[in-house]
Amino acid sequence: MKTSWGYAAWLAVSGLVCVAITIFAASAYVGLDMSQARPPLHGPVHYGLLVAHIFTGTVAVLAGVSQFWPRLRGRHPRVHRAMGRVYFAAVLPSSVLGVVCAQLSLAGLASSAPLTVLSVLWFVTALYGLKTARRRQFGEHRIWMIRGFALTGAAVTGRLWGLALGSLMPGSDGADGLLIFATANWLSFVVNLLVAEWWIQSRGYTRTLPSVALKPSISSRSAQSSASVA
Ligand code: HEM
């Protein structure tokens, strides 16, 4: 399918915004200086787990963004496959570390609940994305990858929601600050998932690549039976 200029420009701008916000978020942790960490921490082990989560999460965003470029998939399928492996190798540990960091969060249940739900969904969608790719069920694979990347993007949209809500309630700290943080964390992935489902439905992705068509044994059997009926 030919990519329109409008679609290419939209992909490029949203990809650049994702990459810029991710690099900015991760930059405070590059020096491995615990005093630069933004959330309050239990100690060095907590910091180590958080840094591992952030570095693998950054790789997931960078590898994931590249996968949505249609020319890469069409012209360089090997690069697409290699980046896909990098993406899974990053998301799976990052989501497990996300669950652990959410339980360790000193901000309490209001903060850890949305992050736990998000981490579990992030892990499960990656697992389905990997499973469907291995089974060559590419229709389903595309759908699971869109859902999964919508969750990866929560790291970006969560920060944007935090900024937007913070500007509506300037000077908020304590309970109000926590309310903003928790609301931003829920909105970060619920809205992304709704947009992803709308995207999947509106582009008819459920119908365009039926996985059954990619199973040679089934499709050749049905071809034989329809030939015998004819
Ligand atoms: C999308 C699924 C993700 C989940 C569920 C998740 C979960 C978490 C959790 C539980 C924390 C600790 C919060 C606390 O202690 O209060 C955290 C912090 C952090 N995460 Fe993630 N994370 C995700 C994705 C990412 C990605 C893709 C990045 C890429 C840069 C990232 C970067 C960070 C950073 C920088 C922090 C430290 C907080 C800050 O400095 O703003 N996360 N995350």
Q: For the chain, how many structural domains are there in total?
A: 1
Between helices 109-134 and 77-104, what is the axis angle to 10°?
A: 150
The model's pTM is 0.86
Of 50, 185, 192, which is best to mutate to test ligand 1, by the most ligand atoms within 8 angstroms of its C-beta? 50
pLDDT the model gives residue 171: 72
Residue 213 confidence (pLDDT) above 70? no
Q: What is the pLDDT of residue 132?
A: 95
Q: Which of 18, 29, 49, 54 to mutate to test the pocket of ligand 1 (most atoms within 8 A of CB)?
A: 54
CA of 53 to the centre of ligand 1 (A): 7
* CA-closest residue to ligand 1 atom 20: 54
Q: What percent of the chain has pLDDT over 70?
A: 88
Range of the domain at 213: 5-229
Measure 194 CA to ligand 1 centroid, in angstroms. 21
- Alpha carbon distances (Å) from 214 to 74, 81, 114, 135: 17, 18, 37, 9
Q: Is pLDDT at 207 greater than 50 in this prediction?
A: yes
- Locus of tokens 């959330």: 39
For residue 71, the model assigns a pLDDT of: 82
For the CA atoms of the chain, what is the radius of gyration? 20
Q: Is the C-beta atom of 63 inside 6 A of ligand 1?
A: no
